[in-house]
Structure 1
Amino acid sequence: MTPDAEFGYELLVCRYAELAWHPSDGSRPAIVARQLGTKERRWDTVVIEVDPAAFGERRAFGERTIDSDLLHVVRGAPAEWAWYRDALPHPGYPWRYVRQAVHRAADRDLIEKRRRNGRIEFRRTRPYPDWVERIVAVENKPDLDRSAADRLADQLEHDVETALADEAWLATETTGERVEPALLREIPVEAGILATDFSEGVHGNAGSVTWHPSDLSPADRECRDPEAKTLRLEIAERAYGKGWRSFHDTMRPDCRHFELRREGRALVPYCAAKEKVPTARECAGSCPSFSPEPPQWRTNGWPIDGGPGKGFEQVLARRRERERDRAERVE
């Protein structure tokens, strides 16, 4: 059954995207994340379509996000030893921050560094690959009425105008009609519309395309502004490191009421005390129903190392890795 909260619906859309992307053009290798974007616009669901071989090369850099400062260093690292100020373009901010990023990158084995003649020199361990094919933004609204369509129209118009994403979509629960009337009245024609039916949980056929999106990307990928290219890569890196199952980072899986429940082929958080899918605001230490795991659960009194809460985190982490593996294997 589709959760009442938009947060719960968002998780189901993310899982559907993993199973069935692209909904109108057939299978494409991709990773999925949620609540990412820029200072001006945050997207509910972000789909990063990847080149499988290049994605495998990206994974060789580790499982964590490479942030913007580290990207400047890793992308610009030379094949041969060089002073970092000679090898890198001016960052637009003081060089001391670049030097700090060089040290951080070396600590994570993203590059090699050495001190020679009083200078910090570095070189790459491997080239940073061009692994991102396309970025797709999805806005989620399970219950779409006229007022919601009005608000979403402005957000989607922004996505269309900036064209930072290659496609913009709206996902909503189906009304049972052939065409969702509220959508077509308000939503920009360039945005795709995905009607979902999660009444039997998430599966690959739980969505249908009501309106096909326009391709917002320039005809030549190289035509993008360099600043936009960098921003897109930063978003993709955050999506890679965060994924969409990171909801446990802002919730309390160590509460004895916290569960993971199956919705078809999706696992979503569930609060046994409230008998619902909670939001991050609700699932907090300040919750009146919060009941921490007994200490013996987190030591030797439980078969899962660290207690049930840690067990939930391990299950979600394994599923994230499985999806990364699948995106890398697709040809």
Structure 2
Amino acid sequence: MILDAEFGYELLVCRYAELAWHPDGEPRPAIVSRQLGTRDRRWDTVVIEVDPGGFAARRRFGDRTIDSDLLHVVRHAPADWAWYRDALPDPGYPWRYVRQAAHRAAGRDLIETRRRGNRIEIRRIRPYPDWVRRIVAIENKPDLDRSAADALADQLAHDVDIALADEVWLATESTGGRVEPALLRSLPVEAGILTTRFGETEREFAACNERATVDGDTTTVDADAATVDWFPSDLAPNGPSGRDPETVTRRLEIAERAYGKGWRSYHDTMRPDCRYFELQRAGRGLVPYCSAKDRCPTNRECAGSCSSFAPEPPAWRTKGWPIEGGPGKGIRALLNRRRERVRDRFETEND
């Protein structure tokens, strides 16, 4: 199967990180997401290294993202009843929005609320845990030519300077040369370099087995599909002061979005309800496939405006009892189950 150079590669890097993080060989519990960051900078792949005990406590707050407004309430909700304005720090915006967030949080069973006269009082149900250990940002560039490296150097330098992430990596496809091109580019020395070999495992097997044949476009991903060519620097600030409260909050907001979104959420922006949309296996990963285009579609082109788009026939959507839906609904359910399985794994290990 032919993968789109950017989007398909991004999915394989995410799956590799899910299988084999950290690349230095010491396993670290982590959740993986994609296309996350701030208003000024968006990362291709984000790895959130978690504390298993804290992560299990976070799981008790539910499976959905706790957004920035809710975080302000949930993190600071008191153990005993108190007026929300006395209990919470000044948000820097009108208190009426905090009151609305408090009611939303209560509606999701994140806190408790009650009315005392004209005042809304809040109380926490459980303390919000310290579940995030480290945040790792990965920029994916399968074909690292000189022009791409020049543009990427500025982006990586920005990531190193702001130190919002604890590590910054570049993931690029191996050329098989004695010295990988990424090592010869003018990239920040603080950024790590990860060279991937998606598909080489099957080709090597075919070379050793006369009866085995492998299509030249076959792509696979497994836990041994990448090599560290350059280790990154630890960007976490030294000293007792650590990060300022605003940065801590921004990091937690990114982690919460990664927790709720994961990296398989492409089914929310693509059209799995199209009759040509499928999932195909790539080693230990699943990637989208368009049978009309005979390749992995890009995230942007797989839309209702695609000239090949054809909704699933009604007969496909009415199979099962009472009405279970067609393949598109099944694809969404499968990808959601895989995300839940990753979440459950760390909670089980902690038990």
Matched, 1:224 2:236: no
**2:133: which partner in 1?**
133
**Mapping for residues 319-330 of structure 1, pairs under 5 Å:** 319-330=338-349
1:184 to partner: Cα distance: 3.2
Deviations 1:124-160 (A, max 9, x none): 1100000000000000001111111101000000011
**Mapping for residues 1-331 of structure 1, pairs under 5 Å:** 3-199=3-199, 200=202, 201-220=220-239, 223-300=242-319, 305-330=324-349
Counterpart residue type for residue 189 of structure 1: V
Distance 1:247 1:220, change over 3 A: farther
Given that 1:146 and 1:182 are in contact with CA atoms closer than 8 Å, whether structure 2 keeps it comes out as no
1:187 to partner: Cα distance: 1.1
Query: In the aligned structure 2, how far is the partner of 1:5 from the partner of 1:197?
Result: 14
Structure 1 range deviating more: 174-183 or 34-43 = 174-183
Counterpart residue type for residue 142 of structure 1: P
Counterpart residue type for residue 257 of structure 1: Y
Distance 1:212 1:145, change over 3 A: same
- Please report the TM-score for the alignment, with normalisation by the length of structure 1: 0.97
Query: In the aligned structure 2, how far is the partner of 1:78 from the partner of 1:7?
Result: 44
Query: In the aligned structure 1, how far is the partner of 2:242 from the partner of 2:49?
Result: 19
Query: In the aligned structure 1, how far is the partner of 2:171 from the partner of 2:11?
Result: 12
Distance 1:304 1:26, change over 3 A: farther
1:328 to partner: Cα distance: 2.9
Q: SS in structure 1 opposite 2:123? A: strand
Query: In the aligned structure 1, how far is the partner of 2:85 from the partner of 2:182?
Result: 56
Instruction: Using the aligned pairs only, state the percent identity.
Output: 76
Q: SS in structure 2 opposite 1:35? A: strand
Structure 1, unaligned runs of 5 or more: none
Q: SS in structure 1 opposite 2:115? A: strand
Q: SS in structure 2 opposite 1:186? A: coil
Given that 1:43 and 1:137 are in contact with CA atoms closer than 8 Å, whether structure 2 keeps it comes out as yes
Deviations 1:267-305 (A, max 9, x none): 011000001111121110011111101122222369981
Distance 1:25 1:225, change over 3 A: farther
Counterpart residue type for residue 90 of structure 2: H
Query: In the aligned structure 2, how far is the partner of 1:238 from the partner of 1:291?
Result: 32
Given that 1:156 and 1:168 are in contact with CA atoms closer than 8 Å, whether structure 2 keeps it comes out as yes
Distance 1:304 1:202, change over 3 A: farther
1:223 to partner: Cα distance: 1.1
- Please report the TM-score for the alignment, with normalisation by the length of structure 2: 0.91
Counterpart residue type for residue 298 of structure 1: R
1:12 to partner: Cα distance: 0.2
Counterpart residue type for residue 9 of structure 1: Y
Query: In the aligned structure 1, how far is the partner of 2:110 from the partner of 2:20?
Result: 33
1:306 to partner: Cα distance: 1.5
1:41 to partner: Cα distance: 0.7
Q: CA RMSD in A?
A: 1.5
Q: SS in structure 2 opposite 1:268? A: strand
Given that 2:4 and 2:297 are in contact with CA atoms closer than 8 Å, whether structure 1 keeps it comes out as no
Query: In the aligned structure 2, how far is the partner of 1:271 from the partner of 1:303?
Result: 29
Query: In the aligned structure 2, how far is the partner of 1:178 from the partner of 1:97?
Result: 58
Q: SS in structure 2 opposite 1:10? A: helix
Given that 1:29 and 1:328 are in contact with CA atoms closer than 8 Å, whether structure 2 keeps it comes out as no
Given that 2:272 and 2:328 are in contact with CA atoms closer than 8 Å, whether structure 1 keeps it comes out as yes
Query: In the aligned structure 1, how far is the partner of 2:240 from the partner of 2:287?
Result: 37
1:108 to partner: Cα distance: 0.6
Query: In the aligned structure 2, how far is the partner of 1:139 from the partner of 1:174?
Result: 15
1:245 to partner: Cα distance: 0.1
Given that 2:144 and 2:181 are in contact with CA atoms closer than 8 Å, whether structure 1 keeps it comes out as no
Counterpart residue type for residue 281 of structure 2: R
Q: SS in structure 2 opposite 1:45? A: strand
Distance 1:269 1:302, change over 3 A: farther
Query: In the aligned structure 2, how far is the partner of 1:221 from the partner of 1:255?
Result: 54
Query: In the aligned structure 2, how far is the partner of 1:137 from the partner of 1:171?
Result: 10
Counterpart residue type for residue 304 of structure 2: G
Deviations 1:222-279 (A, max 9, x none): 5101100000000000000000000000000000000000000000110000011111
Structure 1 range deviating more: 172-181 or 105-114 = 172-181
Given that 2:65 and 2:259 are in contact with CA atoms closer than 8 Å, whether structure 1 keeps it comes out as yes
Given that 2:35 and 2:45 are in contact with CA atoms closer than 8 Å, whether structure 1 keeps it comes out as yes
Q: SS in structure 1 opposite 2:288? A: strand
Given that 1:83 and 1:121 are in contact with CA atoms closer than 8 Å, whether structure 2 keeps it comes out as yes
